[in-house]
Structure 1
Amino acid sequence: MGFLDIRNVTKSYGFVQVLHEVNIEVQEGEFLVLVGPSGCGKSTLLNMIAGLEGITSGDISIKGRVVNGVHPSKRNIAMVFQSYALYPNMTVGQNMTFGLEMHGVPKPEREKALRDVAKLLQIENLLDRKPGQLSGGQRQRVAMGRALVRNPDVFLFDEPLSNLDAKLRVDMRTEIKKLHEKLKTTIVYVTHDQIEAMTLSTRIAVMFKGYVQQLGTPKEIYDTPANVYVATFMGSPAMNVMPARVVVKDGIPHAEIKDAKGAVQNLRFSQPNLADWSGKDILLGIRPESITDPDGADRNSKNIVSLRNLVGVTEPAGADTFVAMELGGKDIIARMRADANVRSGQEFDFAINMEKAVAFDPNTEERIKT
């Protein structure tokens, strides 16, 4: 049993079911990120953990206690909202300690908690200001501080960085990660930003249409996506997915695929049991960084396959150069070094790390287990 248990939880509004039998165990000190597009059910699930939404069926328990129907104030959780939800007529210090005051915590304890958290977040100089006098990043720190002074069992974050500009978002992401590593708190964090999910979490639940598509570590989600949806949602740029056919040569399975000129190419797989799919169509998945120039290929890989193909366009992006080409009738993105000698319109010897390739069933779009 986990520190936070979500067992067979569903949510319906009338005849419309928006969450379908969600099962997640969150261990103490874990940082779980719920990620997915708008409308996938992630915020609804967070609100159900908080007690702001009722549960249609199933159970949610915290520290072994089922909290279905328990008022939010009795769950010992703290929530950080997207909108910060600060009281404009109160000072920063009053905002941070208001919840403690409402729970009858004595003033000396409130003041000590305020001092400790303000020091931790480096906002001691802001305690006498009003929210309207603060920047977006400062308001976000105050909202986090209000949660931290409570010392709750579980912290819930609902897209807390979405209102910040790009640079500040990166800075605050680092601060949240540092806080978690220092305090070892249990966090459930909702975002639609897959970069936030990958960088912050110890585990990720990828959601789509009310279902948990995959639950795993960032590495598991990235390297072995459960299906095409997870493969293309997680990663920037997304995983390349293209139609291919499995053929067996000398007992070794290959992906048979057409290049930009329509010529058939064979890419050797590293997974021998894909030979069972001989003669069958698959969807071949390869991350952009696994397609590069020969000098930039992974030297630890035992299966780098050369592919000569026509370069479409190149996109310099600072540290990287993104190169587009056509493969399997799809536009494919390769990720190369900034100084890779590649030009639009030329024929180029691409190096493909087939150790990192994954195969999907084209009918179910589920990953073929290897």
Structure 2
Amino acid sequence: MTNTFLNIDKVTKSYGAVRVLNETDIAVQQGEFLVLVGPSGCGKSTLLNMIAGLEAITSGEVSINGRVVNGVPPADRNIAMVFQSYALYPNMTVRGNISFSMEMHKVPKPEREAKIAQVAELLQITHLLDRKPGQLSGGQRQRVAMGRALTRDPDVFLFDEPLSNLDAKLRVDMRTEIKKLHQKLGTTIVYVTHDQVEALTLSTRIAVMYGGDVQQLGTPDEVYHNPANMFVAGFMGSPAMNLFPAEIVSLNGGIGVKVTTAGGYITLPFPHGAAMESDIGREIVLGVRPESMTDPESADHDSPCLEHVDLPVELVETTGADSFVTILLGGKECIGRFRAKSAATEGQLTHVTFDMSRAVAFDPKTELRLA
């Protein structure tokens, strides 16, 4: 790929006979924000550590800015890494922590001081420069860790779950700060997280990983709306995409899907099913996002395919801004995202609007996307 800044080419990792990362190809352009996301043990941190030089590559090649770095020590890769543990020196002030790497590289004092002032202003920690890490909050410590990395002017920033030790509100605040930082600096970032909301909000592209493989690589919009398989569909999004069994049927001269409900069955149009006309009677897994299964008032009225159905409600959970309404479809508990003040009531029928233009179909055997 032209203009590739960080190239991961057929990279694998094995520990003895156990392979933890299968052959992986990712090309990252300069200035991109790539997020590696997936559950624990999927290989994302292993891949990050191989880019950093903290883990040896079993096979394949990693190059940064046109230079192959297999076997190059971490200190010589011109990368900067931010860990979830902050890794600050407790006996040094914030100023000392930020300055330490520059001192090791014999950067002249006037240049060091100018860089510290610049980074501290960017991260809004100027007033903390003379404090020690023990006097700082978790969010402040993470800013200092980021400040130390920023003094390097690296080719690539590597973030390893930097927000996982913070409480929920602070995580949101720091997420915003990291996004702003990327917009200001335009640096190349590879960021590891298990939090799919973090992945969707921060990235320019996402690599969804599971079982040592990249399941899908794409923009947040592609990964969210056009998942490549059932794992990606179920992992990305909060609440996750509803996945339930359905049957392909003929409907009004086109294709529809028949779904069992608590009270019988419903038939919904399926506008993406034109290529499935020969599959009448085929069992599929239908995927519908919670916001595409909502009350009539909240539906996207610009959609070309809205279908209104009355269905019995199993459970209503109010979150303040929304109500999550549980409805049985295909024998599965499925969640619709309704307005907080919708009329949905447990044990009663309610009006449900499906945006079938956003529905997707999967093969129940291979779990791959069909349409």
Q: For 2:16, give the aligned amino acid.
A: G
Distance (whole Å) between structure 1 residues aligned to residue 369 and residue 231 of structure 2:
10
The residue that corresponds to 1:349 in the other structure is 351
Within the candidate set 84, 87, 101, 2:86 is matched to: 84
Is the contact between residue 20 and residue 211 of structure 1 (CA under 8 Å) also seen in structure 2?
yes
Is the contact between residue 158 and residue 191 of structure 1 (CA under 8 Å) also seen in structure 2?
yes
Cα deviation for residue 294 of structure 1 reads 1.6
Cα deviation for residue 250 of structure 1 reads 3.7
Structure 2 unaligned segments of length 5 or more: list them: none
Within the candidate set 119, 125, 128, 1:126 is matched to: 128
Distance (whole Å) between structure 1 residues aligned to residue 277 and residue 303 of structure 2:
21
Structure 2-normalised TM-score?
0.98
**How many corresponding residue pairs?**
368
Cα deviation for residue 295 of structure 1 reads 2.0
The residue that corresponds to 1:211 in the other structure is 213
The residue that corresponds to 2:256 in the other structure is 254
1:71 paired to 2:76? no
Distance (whole Å) between structure 1 residues aligned to residue 197 and residue 80 of structure 2:
24
Cα deviation for residue 65 of structure 1 reads 0.5
The residue that corresponds to 2:140 in the other structure is 138
Structure 1-normalised TM-score?
0.98
1:176 paired to 2:185? no
Distance (whole Å) between structure 1 residues aligned to residue 278 and residue 319 of structure 2:
41
Is the contact between residue 78 and residue 150 of structure 1 (CA under 8 Å) also seen in structure 2?
yes
Cα deviation for residue 164 of structure 1 reads 0.6
Is the contact between residue 251 and residue 275 of structure 1 (CA under 8 Å) also seen in structure 2?
no
Cα deviation for residue 296 of structure 1 reads 1.8
Alpha-carbon displacement from aligned partner over 1:203-238 (angstroms, at most 9, x marks no partner): 000000110000000000000001000000000001
> Matches of residues 232-251 of structure 1 in structure 2 within 5 Å?
232-251=234-253
- Percentage of identical aligned residues: 65
Cα deviation for residue 70 of structure 1 reads 0.3
> Matches of residues 158-197 of structure 1 in structure 2 within 5 Å?
158-197=160-199
Cα deviation for residue 278 of structure 1 reads 1.8
Cα deviation for residue 23 of structure 1 reads 0.6
Is the contact between residue 28 and residue 185 of structure 1 (CA under 8 Å) also seen in structure 2?
yes
The residue that corresponds to 1:327 in the other structure is 329
Alpha-carbon displacement from aligned partner over 1:140-171 (angstroms, at most 9, x marks no partner): 00000000011100000000001111111110
Q: For 1:217, give the aligned amino acid.
A: T
The residue that corresponds to 1:300 in the other structure is 302
> Matches of residues 257-336 of structure 1 in structure 2 within 5 Å?
257-261=259-263, 263-271=264-272, 272-336=274-338
**Secondary structure in 2 matching 1:300:** coil
Structure 1 stretches (4+) deviating beyond 4 angstroms? none
Distance (whole Å) between structure 2 residues aligned to residue 26 and residue 276 of structure 1:
40
User: Which one is further off, 337-346 or 267-276?
Assistant: 267-276
Cα deviation for residue 201 of structure 1 reads 0.5
Alpha-carbon displacement from aligned partner over 1:30-73 (angstroms, at most 9, x marks no partner): 00000011111111110000000000000000011100000001
Is the contact between residue 207 and residue 213 of structure 1 (CA under 8 Å) also seen in structure 2?
yes
Q: For 2:209, give the aligned amino acid.
A: M
Q: For 2:317, give the aligned amino acid.
A: E
Distance (whole Å) between structure 2 residues aligned to residue 214 and residue 102 of structure 1:
41
Distance (whole Å) between structure 2 residues aligned to residue 132 and residue 348 of structure 1:
54
> Matches of residues 91-110 of structure 1 in structure 2 within 5 Å?
91-110=93-112
Cα deviation for residue 106 of structure 1 reads 1.7
User: Which one is further off, 103-112 or 335-344?
Assistant: 103-112
Cα deviation for residue 276 of structure 1 reads 3.5
Distance (whole Å) between structure 2 residues aligned to residue 264 and residue 176 of structure 1:
47
Is the contact between residue 343 and residue 350 of structure 2 (CA under 8 Å) also seen in structure 1?
no
Distance (whole Å) between structure 2 residues aligned to residue 295 and residue 89 of structure 1:
58
The residue that corresponds to 2:116 in the other structure is 114
Distance (whole Å) between structure 1 residues aligned to residue 238 and residue 367 of structure 2:
20
Is the contact between residue 268 and residue 354 of structure 1 (CA under 8 Å) also seen in structure 2?
yes
Distance (whole Å) between structure 1 residues aligned to residue 341 and residue 266 of structure 2:
27
Alpha-carbon displacement from aligned partner over 1:3-51 (angstroms, at most 9, x marks no partner): 0000100000000000001110111000000001111111111000000
Cα deviation for residue 100 of structure 1 reads 1.4
The residue that corresponds to 1:227 in the other structure is 229
User: Which one is further off, 270-279 or 233-242?
Assistant: 270-279
Cα deviation for residue 341 of structure 1 reads 1.0
User: Which one is further off, 106-115 or 176-185?
Assistant: 106-115
Q: For 1:302, give the aligned amino acid.
A: P
Distance (whole Å) between structure 2 residues aligned to residue 137 and residue 257 of structure 1:
47
**Secondary structure in 2 matching 1:3:** strand
Is the contact between residue 317 and residue 325 of structure 2 (CA under 8 Å) also seen in structure 1?
yes
Within the candidate set 151, 154, 174, 1:152 is matched to: 154
Distance (whole Å) between structure 1 residues aligned to residue 142 and residue 275 of structure 2:
50
User: Which one is further off, 115-124 or 97-106?
Assistant: 97-106
Is the contact between residue 156 and residue 187 of structure 2 (CA under 8 Å) also seen in structure 1?
yes
Cα deviation for residue 110 of structure 1 reads 1.3
Across the aligned residues of Structure 1 and Structure 2, the Cα RMSD in angstroms comes to: 0.9
Q: For 2:310, give the aligned amino acid.
A: R
Q: For 1:332, give the aligned amino acid.
A: C
**Secondary structure in 1 matching 2:345:** coil
Distance (whole Å) between structure 2 residues aligned to residue 83 and residue 133 of structure 1:
16
